[in-house]
Amino acid sequence: MPDSLAPETVEQLLRGRLGRPYLYEEQCGSTQDLLEPAMHEGTVAVADEQTAGRGRMGRRWQAPAGKAIHCSVLLKPPPARRAPELSLVAGIAVADTIERTIGFAAQIKWPNDVMLRRAKVAGCLAEMRDGAVILGIGINVNQTREELPPVTGSPPGSLFVATGQEWPRAALLAMFLADLERCYSEWLAGGLDSLYPYLGSRDFLRGRHVSVNGTSGTAVKIDRAGRLEIAVGHGEVRTVESGEVRYER
């Protein structure tokens, strides 16, 4: 029997203001489409199954019903903050939640993936709409190896595959929303710079050979503004703002 993400299970676990209100659908197209900019900041939409889940670059995001966390959070940051950084902010929160829950180190693969034992266990998607940000997070929790989607960029993983045990999604979701609220508040106050200690130390690509938008070389680091620095040879370092990364495994 899969554990439930229905309001009667999750709402009693919520500690902060994210998830109030908490919108839940057993099945929907994409949780990203359940939120509207006119709703209250902090509204969260969750579904046990998405029939048209989407990722970055027009990719699909798929998971069998009741095995993963699909959630979208409505945020309204001030214009002074760079909203695309919220993918990294969400990545830090997911990594915090995973590490505290399962006790393994998680890394962040720029710009929006969370990695566990070299496999992608979560992805974050920041979509801007009328000045608001709909921040979508997918976390692979209890999928078996066979239930994971085919490899696109990174090999896919789940908490179950990494640990050999199932994890309660409702408790994970509530912990994640509390971690996201804390990270979001820090980001509002001080930008990505104030979260940098939790980002730079988890940089999955650092030292790997990468290729992004035609720039190839060795990833130096995610910088304090959330960009990727790539050493392209002869002492030259280029900085990439966004893009799709290919990397050597």
Residues forming contacts to ligand BTN in the complex (CB under 6 A) are 30-32, 50, 53-56, 59, 61, 70-72, 112-113, 123-125, 136-138
Query: Which CB sits closer to ligand BTN, 32 or 143?
Result: 32
**Residues contacting 8, CB < 8 A, separation 6+:** none
Quote the least distance from Cβ 135 to ligand BTN, whole Å.
9
Give the β-pairing of 132-140 and 119-129.
antiparallel
Q: How far is the CB of 202 from ligand BTN (least distance, A)?
A: 16
Please identify the residue of the shown chain whose CB is closest to the bound ligand BTN: 123
User: By C-beta, is 56 or 206 nearer to ligand BTN?
Assistant: 56
Tell me how far, at minimum, the Cβ of 32 lies from ligand BTN, in Å: 5
Identify which of residues 32 and 142 has a Cβ nearer to ligand BTN in the complex: 32
59: left (phi over 0), alpha (psi -120 to 50) or beta: beta
Number of residues written out for the chain: 249
Name the minimum Å distance from CB 207 to ligand BTN: 22
Q: Return the number of the residue (71 or 199) whose C-beta is nearest ligand BTN.
A: 71
Pairwise CA distance, residues 218 & 220, whole Å: 6
CA separation for the pair 80, 97 (Å, rounded): 28
Under DSSP, is residue 174 helix (H, G, I), strand (E, B) or coil? helix
